[in-house]
Structure 1
Amino acid sequence: MDHKRELTSVDLAALEGELAGYEGAKLDKAYLYPEDDLVRLKLRDFDRGRVEFVIEVGDVKRAHVADAAHVPDAPGRPPDFAMMLRNRLSGADLVRVEQFEFDRIIELEFDREDGSTTIVAELFGDGNVAVLDEHGEVIDCLETVRLKSRTVAPGTPYEFPSARFNPLTVGYEGFVARIEESDSDLVRTLATQLNFGGLYGEELCTRAGIDYNVAVGELTDDQFQRLYDIVDELGTRLREGNVDPRVYYETVGEDGGESDGADGDGEPDRRRVDVTPLPLEEYEGRYSETFTEFNPALDDYFYNFEREEEVEGGETQRPDFEAEIEKQKRIIQQQEQAIGDFEDDAEAEREKAELLYAHYDLVDEVLSTVRAAREDDVAWDEIEAKFDEGAERGIPAAEAVVSLDGSEGTVTLDIDGTRVTVDAAEGVEVNADELYKEAKRIEEKKEGALAAIEDTREDLEAVKQRRDEWEKEDDEGGSASEADADEPTDWLAEASIPTRSTEHWYEQFRWFHTSDGFLVIGGRDADDNEELVQKYLERGDKFFHAQAHGGPVTVLKATGPSEPAKEVDFPQSSLDQAAQFAVSYSSVWKDGRFAGDAYMVDPDQVSKTPESGEYLEKGGFAVRGDRTYFEDTPAGVGVGITCEDETRVIGGPPAAIEGQAATTIVVEPGQYAQNDIAKRLYREFRSRFADESFVRKVASPDQIQEFLPPGGSRMVDE
């Protein structure tokens, strides 16, 4: 079975009460171990003496009191984050430990004469630790988060995720109503909608004697009542600290799988796989150890589990660099999406302000009417009713009123199809000015997100460097002669590079080869789009297009033009790269956005025959049937120079180009026109190669510009 790596919401609910017993302990010193994303808080308790509290938010996500013998040695020079914690918390009293709602978030509040400080540990997603001042503003955090839904960044108010449903405190009617909102089966509903997760969703079904897969709509009143009683009992036990912790094991065979085998002493070879605050019926019959408190159980599990992972067959296991690289890439993609959202939101606020001025008299009439009515103590409901009557009589100002909110003192208007909410106590100018201010505030968040992306890219490169160093050390175990034989040519250092290239049929279009070797071609204009579909789109190929006007027809080729058509099972990496190509060379880039959507269909779904009554412009096509969507695809292009087999400029999705070129420069939407950025890339390439004449021959600014998207660009590492 899979080993537990993260605490659940149930675990934190059990911990909350147990950790409350440590309130009053004073913080002595704080440590940060960046390589593990681990924060260690060393405290002194009057009754217990030394107390070690650990928070880990990397691949393993946990927060608990640890045995002093189980904490890592103090690192050398403390990082800035650790120094900040020591400056704010040394001598401070722990006054509050609390789980946020029923989420995987735990707060530790410390008080000192000069103020209070709260540490918020996020044990979900990519994990994070944020430090807040007494006003809830972020002082510092391990990871800067700038998404449309929430922001966690130094100098900004900390934003919790949207509050999750808490099944441990809700009444019976609310419990039933929440379940009935689901259209899934019971176990999935308990796991996701009630936030129990998969294991506890199954456990609740087992205890209630209900089949996992029964549809929610088929549950009886008796089954609802049994479920609620079990959840209510669980909540009571967790709140009262009535726990019976267990560490569960699996028996391991020689092949590493679960077995009934034994070691040389006749004792079963067991490995820890889970830790829970209560015994589970799901694990009935599985070997376990009992503990009197949950903290020691967690410490035993995670300390020994990590040691078992580190030592496998007497050798240190290779860190999962690929998982960390994917994590950093995922963060960058989220940040890029957030930037696009910030731009759209800021523009929307400015448009609302301009609409107020464009319809000044109408808006002023509505606001003046509301203010006059309020001065006469007319109720908000009566004012809204008057506007409804006016709308029925065709009065334009009344027709524009969508609703009134007396609790907020606002009026929502529909102006040219856009809804704008204004403060009824203020005039048109003040309301427009507030909208402009909001647009500016959003743009400031965008600037912060841009800075955060740069930080994340640095983290990504650091992980790649650690991976390369690890692999280099592994390679050094081979013989010197083997290493010399396999040593690739360092083309950047070569004094003279011979040029060699061949003309290919697809060079009349935009093109690249995916990291899996498949050809992708795209149109540069309407004529190219027509030719691609009519001449080169064949059975087995895939047709891609951005969900934006002005995008190129993009074809992922299964075979060459002289080969017979055939069906191909394309790898997901090739599909993703073709989608990124379609987005990057569309109007998404020209508009300065960092992500967009694309779709994929089969060739027989693409036609030049329009729907009845419609007209297709040149380069346009009708697409019928179901589509496969690639949402929030990042806009990004890599431009590189190849030196083996052929010497030329190539361009396309970075993931494809970086594996084929001797050196690559990644560009993103930015401020430099096509010809200007082409010159900047040319100068950068010349600085990388010892043979500058080679760059002039194969990668002139004009040749580079052929691979750049229309619109402004900038180098990512500028």
Structure 2
Amino acid sequence: MNQAFRESYEHELALRVEEEKRREIEDKIAELKKKLDERRFTANKLIASSKKLRKLAQKLFKTYPRLEEIKRFDGIHEIDGLKVEVNSRRGEIKINVDEETLTLKTDESLMKQISSLFDDAKKSMEAAERLLKEAKEIESMIEKLSKREAEELEEILLKVSAKLKPPAKRWYERYRWFTTSEGFLAVAGKDASSNISLLKKHLEPNDLVFHAEVRGAAAVILKDGLKAGEKSKVEAAQFAATYSRAWREKISRITVYYVTADQISFKPPPGHYLPRGGFIVKGERNYITVRLELAIGLTRDLELIYGPSQALAGRAIRMVKIVPGKRKSTELAEEAVKILTENMSFDRSSLNLLKERIIELIPYGSGELVKI
């Protein structure tokens, strides 16, 4: 069951990781495109400037003799369509070209200054060519990044899958079990046969055993129970009460006893008969009166957990609580699935598995959902 949910979780997480990776790649591409646009824009400006300078330089080169003639005469002159203003006091010749002004110095060689315009035009064109080369390289980077996107996403999904491989099955998973709010493991038999199997194979000196004095009740081992606090003992007692016939009889509270491991025996006194699936309790018993309830929830990694509500409270992100009642387990499971998986992405197969598992967990096939 939890394997199916890990697969669903893996799918959901993979989609999330894929989206994050895609955003990361798209951000890189957007950044590169911005650089590409900047370089193209600047290159185009430089090309336009270079052409303009070259054209102007060529025109000034043709009008050079006339410029030499007028540079000593202040005022505005018209030369070959150019508006030329001479200011001898400042030693300047201002030439208006396409709403821009070019200034030449009268005390310097005009030919040298005109020639420098050709040099500037050449430098601008070379700078533009460098930028266009960079733009081409950026285009190539964008293309490669786009092509690698699918491969990188596939790689990240494989890493996610590897991390989410389920652990090997633990011994107590063949029984009913939960972890108490104090972190102790509580394990219950599913029937008379598994009760005995559980006690004979897994009962250790530091454990406590819980049992309701009701026919067909589950035996519950609280591992390291001698170290457990009152909360864990109450929760283990609730677990034992829940999986007893008291649930079928719709009893809301019963008394459960607990004893130490050395009080459990599988040998009847002389002259007595021990029924199949039975065990003997020696010495005094400790009693706890508890409510019958079963909480079912999902953890953050979508592991299905169940047990007393107090035990699930700190671990479950979604939880439902069931008490003895008349509604069929199929109806309860259907409603529980809707509550537990609301706004989550699960395929139909996983939802069906969850429903089946919840049906298995509900004692004696009936109960009532209560608000938490």
- Paired position in structure 2 for 1:713: 367
Q: How many angstroms does 1:602 deviate by?
A: 0.6
- Paired position in structure 1 for 2:12: 496
- The match for 1:693 among 347, 354, 367 is 347
- Paired position in structure 1 for 2:200: 534
- Paired position in structure 2 for 1:684: 339
Q: What residue identity is the alignment partner of 1:706?
A: E
Q: 1:655 and 2:310 equivalent?
A: yes
Q: What residue identity is the alignment partner of 1:643?
A: R
Q: Do the aligned residues in 2 keep the contact of 1:641 with 1:661 (CA within 8 Å)? A: yes
The SS at the match of 2:214 is: coil
- The match for 1:624 among 282, 295, 309 is 282
- Paired position in structure 2 for 1:306: none
Q: How many angstroms does 1:707 deviate by?
A: 2.5
- Paired position in structure 2 for 1:58: none
Q: Do the aligned residues in 2 keep the contact of 1:527 with 1:619 (CA within 8 Å)? A: yes
- The match for 1:557 among 223, 234, 237 is 223
Q: What residue identity is the alignment partner of 2:356?
A: D
Q: Do the aligned residues in 1 keep the contact of 2:192 with 2:216 (CA within 8 Å)? A: no
Inter-CA distance 616–674: structure 2 relative to 1 (3 Å threshold):
farther
The SS at the match of 2:273 is: coil
The SS at the match of 2:227 is: coil
Matches within 5 A, 1:294-693: 496-497=12-13, 501-502=166-167, 503-558=169-224, 568-631=226-289, 633-644=290-301, 647-686=302-341, 688-693=342-347
**Distance in 1 between residues matched to 2:317 and 2:230, nearest whole Å:** 25
- Alignment RMSD (CA, Å): 2.4
Inter-CA distance 694–676: structure 2 relative to 1 (3 Å threshold):
closer
**Distance in 1 between residues matched to 2:270 and 2:307, nearest whole Å:** 37
Inter-CA distance 505–668: structure 2 relative to 1 (3 Å threshold):
same
Q: Do the aligned residues in 2 keep the contact of 1:648 with 1:699 (CA within 8 Å)? A: no
**Distance in 1 between residues matched to 2:310 and 2:348, nearest whole Å:** 25
Q: What residue identity is the alignment partner of 2:346?
A: E
What do the CA deviations read for 1:308-353 (whole angstroms, capped 9, x no partner)?
Answer: xxxxxxxxxxxxxxxxxxxxxxxxxxxxxxxxxxxxxxxxxxxxxx
Which has the larger helix fraction? 2
What do the CA deviations read for 1:555-596 (whole angstroms, capped 9, x no partner)?
Answer: 0012xxxxxxxx842111111100110001111111111111
What do the CA deviations read for 1:489-524 (whole angstroms, capped 9, x no partner)?
Answer: xxxxx9934665333221110000001111100010
Q: Do the aligned residues in 2 keep the contact of 1:648 with 1:698 (CA within 8 Å)? A: no
What do the CA deviations read for 1:594-639 (whole angstroms, capped 9, x no partner)?
Answer: 11110010111111112333322222111110111002x1001100
What do the CA deviations read for 1:376-421 (whole angstroms, capped 9, x no partner)?
Answer: xxxxxxxxxxxxxxxxxxxxxxxxxxxxxxxxxxxxxxxxxxxxxx
**Distance in 2 between residues matched to 1:680 and 1:666, nearest whole Å:** 11
Q: How many angstroms does 1:695 deviate by?
A: 9.0
Q: Do the aligned residues in 2 keep the contact of 1:650 with 1:707 (CA within 8 Å)? A: no
Q: Do the aligned residues in 1 keep the contact of 2:208 with 2:226 (CA within 8 Å)? A: no
- Paired position in structure 2 for 1:79: none
**Distance in 1 between residues matched to 2:223 and 2:299, nearest whole Å:** 22
**Distance in 2 between residues matched to 1:665 and 1:506, nearest whole Å:** 23
The SS at the match of 1:496 is: helix
Q: Do the aligned residues in 2 keep the contact of 1:636 with 1:666 (CA within 8 Å)? A: yes
Q: What residue identity is the alignment partner of 1:501?
A: P
Q: Do the aligned residues in 2 keep the contact of 1:556 with 1:578 (CA within 8 Å)? A: yes
**Distance in 1 between residues matched to 2:259 and 2:285, nearest whole Å:** 5
Structure 2 unaligned residues grouped into runs of 5+: 1-9, 15-163
Moved more, 520-529 or 701-710: 701-710
The SS at the match of 2:363 is: coil
The SS at the match of 2:182 is: coil
Inter-CA distance 629–697: structure 2 relative to 1 (3 Å threshold):
same
**Distance in 2 between residues matched to 1:552 and 1:526, nearest whole Å:** 8
**Distance in 1 between residues matched to 2:268 and 2:232, nearest whole Å:** 30
**Distance in 1 between residues matched to 2:165 and 2:321, nearest whole Å:** 24
What do the CA deviations read for 1:196-228 (whole angstroms, capped 9, x no partner)?
Answer: xxxxxxxxxxxxxxxxxxxxxxxxxxxxxxxxx
Inter-CA distance 517–703: structure 2 relative to 1 (3 Å threshold):
same
Q: What residue identity is the alignment partner of 2:273?
A: Y
What do the CA deviations read for 1:114-158 (whole angstroms, capped 9, x no partner)?
Answer: xxxxxxxxxxxxxxxxxxxxxxxxxxxxxxxxxxxxxxxxxxxxx
Inter-CA distance 540–608: structure 2 relative to 1 (3 Å threshold):
same
Q: Do the aligned residues in 2 keep the contact of 1:641 with 1:663 (CA within 8 Å)? A: yes
- Normalised to the residue count of structure 2, the TM-score between the two structures is 0.53
The SS at the match of 1:691 is: coil
Aligned length: 213
**Distance in 1 between residues matched to 2:365 and 2:353, nearest whole Å:** 20
Inter-CA distance 694–518: structure 2 relative to 1 (3 Å threshold):
farther
Q: Do the aligned residues in 1 keep the contact of 2:190 with 2:218 (CA within 8 Å)? A: yes
Q: How many angstroms does 1:691 deviate by?
A: 1.9
- Paired position in structure 2 for 1:458: none
What do the CA deviations read for 1:274-333 (whole angstroms, capped 9, x no partner)?
Answer: xxxxxxxxxxxxxxxxxxxxxxxxxxxxxxxxxxxxxxxxxxxxxxxxxxxxxxxxxxxx
- Of structures 1 and 2, the one with the larger relative CO (CA 8 A, separation 6+) is 2
Structure 1 unaligned residues grouped into runs of 5+: 1-493, 559-566
Q: Do the aligned residues in 2 keep the contact of 1:685 with 1:695 (CA within 8 Å)? A: no
Inter-CA distance 605–568: structure 2 relative to 1 (3 Å threshold):
closer
Inter-CA distance 557–526: structure 2 relative to 1 (3 Å threshold):
same
- Paired position in structure 2 for 1:244: none
Q: What residue identity is the alignment partner of 1:527?
A: S
**Distance in 2 between residues matched to 1:540 and 1:625, nearest whole Å:** 17
The SS at the match of 2:347 is: helix
Moved more, 616-625 or 690-699: 690-699
Q: Do the aligned residues in 2 keep the contact of 1:522 with 1:554 (CA within 8 Å)? A: yes
- Normalised to the residue count of structure 1, the TM-score between the two structures is 0.28
**Distance in 2 between residues matched to 1:650 and 1:620, nearest whole Å:** 29
- Paired position in structure 1 for 2:110: none
**Distance in 1 between residues matched to 2:13 and 2:349, nearest whole Å:** 10
